[in-house]
């Protein structure tokens, strides 16, 4: 016999599609957690991902461009591109506004590029967390 959901269970997390939550979490870092009424966690994710991304941009880190070549070069370029893209709207706006740094030699540019990818990887972790919360697999 199925019982009606309790008031406490329905108040803890809104019943939304995990796919929608994950898409919002990709576009706006922390957005999925915000929709799940996890405001504190959403703010921390938003700040960390955007700060990491924009510090990388301020260091004039080049964004990865997917192109071919030998196997290792292809994997590195496509992996970096997917890491950049995982930052969501920050990446899309930056590219649409014309940010295009050449891949120059130097430590600062190299670290900037890695910070941009790291921001995307942080956002992927946040997306997985939002997915698990939306599915009810995690509190």
Q: Which helix (H) or strand (E) holds 21?
A: helix 18-27
Q: What is the mean pLDDT of residues 99-118?
A: 87
What distance in Å separates the CA atoms of residue 70 and residue 102, rounded to the nearest whole number?
21
Q: Could you tell me if 133 and 38 are in contact, meaning their C-beta atoms sit under 8 angstroms apart?
A: yes
In which region does residue 5 sit, left (phi positive, over 0), alpha (psi from -120 to 50) or beta (all else)? beta
What distance in Å separates the CA atoms of residue 59 and residue 61, rounded to the nearest whole number?
6
Predicted local distance difference test score (pLDDT) of residue 104: 76
Domains of the chain, residue spans:
17-135
Q: What is the mean pLDDT of residues 21-40?
A: 96
Q: What is the pTM of this model?
A: 0.83
- For 112, the token pair is 């900037």
């Amino acid at each position: 016999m199925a019982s009606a959901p309790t008031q406490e269970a329905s108040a803890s997390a809104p019943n939304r599609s995990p796919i929608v939550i994950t898409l919002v979490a990709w576009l706006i870092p922390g957005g999925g957690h915000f929709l799940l009424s996890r405001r504190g966690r959403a703010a921390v994710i938003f700040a960390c991902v955007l700060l990491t991304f924009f510090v990388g941009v301020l260091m004039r880190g080049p964004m990865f461009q997917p192109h071919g070549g030998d196997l290792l070069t292809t994997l590195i370029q496509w992996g970096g591109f997917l890491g950049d893209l995982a930052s969501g709207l920050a990446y899309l706006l930056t590219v649409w506004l014309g940010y295009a740094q050449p891949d120059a030699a130097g430590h600062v540019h190299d670290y900037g590029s890695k910070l941009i990818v790291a921001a995307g990887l942080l956002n992927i972790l946040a997306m997985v967390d939002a997915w698990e919360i939306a599915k009810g697999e995690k509190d």
